[in-house]
Copies of this chain bind each other. A is one copy, B any other.
Amino acid sequence: MARMEHDFINWLRQRSTSSESLLVGPGDDAAVLSLPSGNCVVTVDTLMEGVHFEFSSCSPQQVGRKALAVNLSDLAAMAAKPVAAVLSLSLSRDSAGRISREIFQGFADMANQFGVAIAGGDTNTWEGALVVSVTAIGVVEGQGLGRDGARPGDWVVVTGALGGSILGKHYDFLPRVEIAQRLADNYVVHAATDISDGLSMDLHHVCTESGCGAELELGLVPIADAARQLASSSGRTPLSHALSDGEDFELLLAIPPDQWKTIGEDPVSEQLTRIGRFVDGSGLFQISPTGTKEPLQPRGFQH
């Protein structure tokens, strides 16, 4: 049911920007959307208290924001345009009122920022801990950007800088919706995914799905300041964090060299870094700044 408690429906209606897409909003049995032309893209992601977050180190607003943001990152990885989202909250009985309003606030702020219509939701209370489940809907031309289209010779390209996301970025990251759409609308991109498990792990997934291997030039990997900060106490190198920390929510792209050349003249290229290339065969390899080539073990979050 798209139904929510009446309080929440009214609250949401006041805080959500109106959307032309939303023909029937929260309050009826289901929401009705007029989707822009293209195919419908759908993704679901769930955040659980004690597994994905602890309120000792984050606010309910951050959880609400992130619950939508991770889904928008998945839409970005398909080069889809976000249209709408629904959320389901399983709330602890004792803190339901305050917590749910703050979660909604974070969720609604993110939705408004990306022009996402809040199409409905479901809230329940129980004795258990908080579960926030969000389903996002977008549209895309054709089949969007899969993980399986990388071809030997394509450059391995990433957005942003990587590693150390745990220090804060995993809450306040900006889903790469705009970059993905700009690339997909104007250039040929062969494959994309978002870096949620860690660069090397997600690159491994793209290689497996695409039936090829990849060589990373370690000297080219953009390392986030947070990765250096984390390295000062973790006993690991900043590069190691950049290669294997999860939840960067940057894009990992397979771009043909001729397209990469053209993209270089586009301002969007300032947010992109070429870090290697897809190659025939299978497996990951790392090339050191001195040119030594060795196998690279994919590391990161294992589902």
Contacts and interface: CB of A to CB of B under 8 A. Distances in A.
A167 to B, nearest CB: 23
A244 interface: no
A44 B5 contact: no
Interface in A23-65: 23-24, 27-35, 39-46, 48, 50-52
Given A23-B143, A70-B1, A193-B29, A34 B43 contact: no
A90 B48 CA distance: 8
Interface residues of A, number: 69
Contacts of A146: 24, 28
Contact of A135 (B4, B5, B80, B135): B135
A196 interface: yes
Contacts of A131: 90, 128, 131, 133
Interface of A: 1-6, 23-24, 27-35, 39-46, 48, 50-52, 70-71, 74-75, 77-78, 80, 84, 86-88, 90, 119-122, 124-129, 131, 133, 135-138, 140, 143-144, 146-148, 192-194, 196, 209, 303
